[in-house]
Amino acid sequence: MLRLDRVSKTFRTGSFGGRELHAVREVGFEVAQGEVVSLIGESGSGKTTLGRMILRLAAVSEGSITLDGVDIARQKDYYRSVQGVFQDPFSSYNPIFKADRVLEMIRQRFFPSMGAADWRARVESSLAAVRLDPGGVLGKYPHQLSGGQLQRLLIARALLLDIRMLVADEIISMLDASTRIDVLNLLGELKGRGLGILFITHDLSLGNYVSEKTVVLRSGRVVEMGRTELVFGNPLHPYTRNLLGSVPRLHRRWSEEEDAPEEEATCFYHGAAGRDATWPGLVEAEPGHFVGCATSGTCAPALELVR
């Protein structure tokens, strides 16, 4: 459905765009219907920039993003099919207006001629889909609602349209643990309804919980991607292993396991030595599991792959 093909983003910084910053480099993956793809990366990995490009909030520098084979830049009414929810529930709402204004904006733009009764039914059904009580959220100001309610209202807003794809950028990282899982389950239900979801997160355990596919991003490049159970069950790239090793887990302490060894200077991703090496792209290590390494001739994990 939604396909990214060698997508890059270059920001011009400095006065009159004197310097270049490569935020995203040659990223390619696909999100199918009824599938959650989690995009995992630390700060500065380019994950948010990717989400913004898919939402057309940032222009693509190189490569293409297509929806059903048509470039998204050329699609009319793109936002009827693709919508987004962002990290901070409190800054997603204009603080001086009531929270339900986000729903009304959808009506003005996309359903200008819909009758009051039809619209009411539509609002009620999408609120029901996110388990919000209409009386509890409509007519309230953002600061009167909880973070979980605000995020669910934003998902309800997206559901007012017959969207096929939702970009969820860190939508639960600011919520409390007890409400976080409910919003995550909601994403699971949405994929059951046939939506494709790009779940952007820095938290590996959350990504693992809901997603079918996982894409691990570092410094703008994909280091490893594939079916979630393969990426988590058999991480091949040292960066992924390190990341997984750093995730705090219940019932198992860090000290009980060895730190993943730092493979310095053998690979584009873990050392400065190979920085200028050309990137060979991703290697399919096993069916549905890709890993990227610049110096695959000398890099230990990459050698293992070839074998």
Binding to another protein (CB under 8 A) within 173-202 occurs at 176-182, 184-185, 188, 202
Q: Which is nearer to another protein, 25 or 157 (CB)?
A: 157
User: Do residues 192 and 18 touch, judged by C-beta distance below 8 A?
Assistant: no
> Could you write out the DSSP letters of every residue in 136-200?
HHTT--GGGS-HHHHHHHHHHHHHHTT-SEEEEESTTTTS-HHHHHHHHHHHHHHHHTT-EEEEE
Tell me whether residue 204 or residue 291 sits nearer to another protein (CB atom): 204
> Applying CB under 8 A, what is the total number of residues that bind another protein?
82
Structure tokens at 96: 């001086």
Q: Which residue has the tokens 């997206």?
A: 158
Region binding another protein by CB under 8 A among candidate stretches 27-35, 204-212, 277-285, 292-300:
204-212
Q: How far is CA 296 from CA 6, 47, 156, 225, 271, in A?
A: 20, 25, 46, 17, 14
Among all chains, which residue has been given the structure tokens 């699609």?
A: 75
Among 62, 68, 91, 284, binds another protein (CB under 8 A): 91
Residue with tokens 């409400």: 179
Site string for another protein, 136-165 (x = CB under 8 A): x-xx-x-x--x-------x-----------
* Dihedral pair phi/psi, residue 12, rounded to 5°: -95, 125
Pick the piece of the chain touching another protein (CB under 8 A) from 19-27, 113-121, 278-286, 293-301.
Answer: 113-121
Backbone conformation region of residue 243, classed left if phi is above 0, alpha if psi is from -120 to 50, else beta: alpha
Q: Measured from the CB of residue 40, what is the shortest distance to another protein in angstroms? A: 10
Q: Minimum distance between the CB of residue 89 and another protein, rounded to whole angstroms?
A: 9
CB atoms under 10 Å from CB of 74, counted, come to 8
Site track 228-257 with another protein (rule: CB under 8 A), x = hit? xx--x---------xxx-xxxxxx-xx---
Q: Is residue 123 within the footprint of another protein (CB under 8 A)?
A: yes
Interaction of residue 102 with another protein, rule CB under 8 A: yes
Nearer to another protein, 216 or 291 (CB): 216
